[in-house]
Amino acid sequence: MLQGQRTWIFDNKPVILSTATVGGPDEAACNISKDFDLLHDDMWLQQSSFEKAQTMMMEEACDIALNKASLKADEINFFISGDLTNQITPTTFAAKTLETAYLGLFSACATVTQSLALSAFLINAKGAKYILSGTSSHNSAAERQFRYPTEYGGQKPPTSQYTVTGAGCALLSDSGTGPVVTSATIGKIVDMGITDPFNMGGAMAPAAVDTIMTHLRERKIDASYYDLILTGDLGEIGHAISKEMLESEGIKLDDSNYKDCGMTIYNEEQAVNAGGSGPACAAVTTYGHFIKKIQKGELKRILLVATGALHSPLSMNQKDSIPAIAHAVSIEMGSDSQ
Amino acid sequence: MIFLWAFIVGGIICVIGQIMFDVFKLTPAHTLTSLVVLGAILDGVGLYEPLIDFAGAGATVPITSFGNSLVHGAMEEAQQHGIIGVLTGIFEVTSAGISAAIVFGVIAAIIFKPKG
């Protein structure tokens, strides 16, 4: 079960029964738009605020995941989810609608793997039969909380990233067919003293490297064990930094087996600077795009390393640096999973 | 010729703003207020009016001109009414701009959804 200091091996192989992804207008125009279950052409979703629109996307993602597995909300033991808006308000209101037992998480853009790791742990330990694990973000809700009011139209440097509008959800169970969660490594805070909220990829890269190194060491496996090591939202800047750091540690990866969700999601015509970000970035890319590749057999083993910048409006006002974290979860398909 | 100078002077003021923004990593709010203060200081030492004569809209359109107007109104009123004129004069020249911002802001808020 516990292997090393902070890696869990899930011997009972919690199954991802179904996944669901919901996106907004920018996601409808992105590289992986065909992998979404539901796309909206309006940032507001006919709601009165961006946060309410985010709540609705989370609810929709849960509904779709439940429908795909032919389950009802009252059969779910726990809803484990979070986001990065004030006191995870959109997630809490989605939990209110779901009416299931709820554990709210905050790990910013690393929420997807924090939730998946904890959900898999609970199911592996027979603490639950069905768990909905998800996360969401909304570009305009994040902009006005962490940057400037949306109507302000402030300039952004090329190192900045674009928060994904969407929600992603996975339904986990102790039995059934589907990709299985085999292990997880919980990250620790890595803070390199970066204070620029427009360069979060650079701030998060060392955290991703620390978690990847720890995971491989504690699982006693080589990086080549995975067909793909997938980071959450390092973007172009953070991806390049992390690749260099991993190389200096003797781990050589290339563009085919080391990818970033933030660089995968949007296309070049979309003005997103260094790439996508936000909790939904890793969630919709993994649960929409990459999980389909696993189901088709194109990928057998992936390590998802979602990265989070855990700064807050408070810490920015106090001119603190950006604490970063990364949690890793391995998802595998087929009978050869260890 | 004034068109060329307006183009150059206005452009230089914007370049200063962009440098403050990108090189010195000032926030948009700090960039804006710094330029307002810069305009106020330039008028205080009597340099902004000659700049307007020289470059026209190149000096009146950028936000530095707002600082200039604040100080200019205050100094003119002070000459006529003494020290109290500093207070009454601050919004003497700028009142049209400020009132327009409020009035048009309210109209826009009524027509459109102002919450971002």
Q: B22-34: per-residue pLDDT in tens? A: 899 888 889 999 9
Asked if B114 is an interface residue toward chain A (Cβ–Cβ < 8 A), one would say yes
Mark whether A116 and A100 lie in a shared domain. Answer: yes
Q: What is the pLDDT of residue A199?
A: 87
Mark whether A161 and A222 lie in a shared domain. Answer: no
Mark whether A148 and A18 lie in a shared domain. Answer: yes
Residues of chain A with pLDDT under 70: 334-338
Range list of H helices, chain A: 25-28, 50-68, 89-98, 111-124, 139-146, 200-219, 235-248, 261-265, 279-284, 291-296, 313-317
State the ipTM, two decimals.
0.74
Q: Considering A173, A188, A203, which residue would you say is the last residue of a domain? A: A173
Mean pLDDT of B67-84: 93
What is the pTM for the complete model shown? Answer: 0.90
Residue A337 belongs to some domain of the structure = no
| Residue B116 pLDDT level (bands cut at 50, 70, 90) | low
Is residue A171 within 8 Å of A84, Cβ to Cβ? Answer: no
Cα separation, B94 vs B65, in Å, equals 10
Q: What tokens appear for A87 in the block? A: 């006191």
Mark whether A139 and A20 lie in a shared domain. Answer: yes
Cα separation, A270 vs B74, in Å, equals 48
Q: Considering A132, A151, A173, which residue would you say is the last residue of a domain? A: A173
User: Which tens digits make up the pLDDT trace of B77-113?
Assistant: 999 999 999 999 998 888 988 999 999 999 999 998 7
Mark whether A142 and A247 lie in a shared domain. Answer: no
User: Which tens digits make up the pLDDT trace of B39-49?
Assistant: 999 999 999 99
For chain A, what is the total number of helices (H) and then of strands (E)?
11, 15
Cα separation, B78 vs B73, in Å, equals 8
Mark whether A104 and A199 lie in a shared domain. Answer: no
Instruction: Show which of residues 125-184 on chain A sit within 8 Å of chain B, judged by CB atoms.
Output: 140, 144, 148-152, 154-155, 157
Residue A155 with chain B: CB contacts under 8 Å: 21, 28
Instruction: Show which of residues 234-253 on chain A sit within 8 Å of chain B, judged by CB atoms.
Output: none
Any idea what DSSP says for residue A257?
A: T
Asked if B80 is an interface residue toward chain A (Cβ–Cβ < 8 A), one would say no
Mark whether A31 and A168 lie in a shared domain. Answer: yes
Is residue A308 within 8 Å of A232, Cβ to Cβ? Answer: yes
Is residue A201 within 8 Å of A238, Cβ to Cβ? Answer: yes
Q: Considering A154, A173, A192, which residue would you say is the last residue of a domain? A: A173
Q: How far does A150 lie from chain B, in Å, by closest CA? A: 5
Domain that holds residue A164: 2-173
Mark whether A214 and A111 lie in a shared domain. Answer: no
* CATH for A258: 3.40.47.40
Q: What is the pLDDT of residue A156?
A: 85
Q: What is the pLDDT of residue A196?
A: 85
Residue A234 belongs to some domain of the structure = yes
Q: Give the containing element (helix H, strand E) for A8.
A: strand A7-9
Residue A321 belongs to some domain of the structure = yes
Mark whether A90 and A25 lie in a shared domain. Answer: yes
Mark whether A169 and A189 lie in a shared domain. Answer: no
